[in-house]
Amino acid sequence: MDRQEAYQEKMEARVKALQAQIEGLAAKANEAKADAKIELMEGLDRLMAKRDEVQTKLGKLKEAGEKASDDLRQGLESALFDLKTAVDKALDKFK
C-alpha cells in the first residue's frame, strides 16, 4: 500500500466514524419532543451537508491520485475538521 492509499483509507475511516455519530444523533431526533426534534433535524441537515462536502473532496483526492496537490489535502482536512467540530457540538448539545 502506498502513502496515498494509506492517507485515503485514514480519511475514509474518519468520515465513517463521524457518520456513525451523525446516525446516533438521528436516532435521538426520532425520540425527541417536537421542538427539540425540529432543532435536531435542522442540525442534522447541516451535518449531512458538511459530510457530503467531505465526501466530495475525498472523491476529488482519489481521482487526483498520487499527483494530488497539497491544496486538495488541506481542503479535505479542513472540511473534515469542520465536520468533526459540528458533530462534537451537536453531541454535546443533545446529550
> To 5 degrees, how large is the angle CA 54–CA 55–CA 59?
120
pLDDT single digits (tens) 42-60: 888 999 999 999 999 888 8
**pLDDT given for residue 69 in this prediction:** 76
**pLDDT given for residue 47 in this prediction:** 92
- Say if pTM beats, i.e. exceeds, 0.75: no
* Residue type present at position 36: A
Find out whether 73 and 30 touch, Cβ atoms under 8 Å: no
> What CA–CA distance (Å, rounded) separates 70 from 55?
17
**pLDDT given for residue 46 in this prediction:** 92
Query: With a cut of 70, which residues of the chain have pLDDT below it?
Result: 94-95
**pLDDT given for residue 3 in this prediction:** 85
> What CA–CA distance (Å, rounded) separates 28 from 62?
34
**pLDDT given for residue 37 in this prediction:** 77
**pLDDT given for residue 63 in this prediction:** 85
Q: How far is CA 82 from CA 10, 26, 56, 76, 85, in A?
A: 17, 19, 14, 10, 5
> To 5 degrees, how large is the angle CA 75–CA 86–CA 51?
55
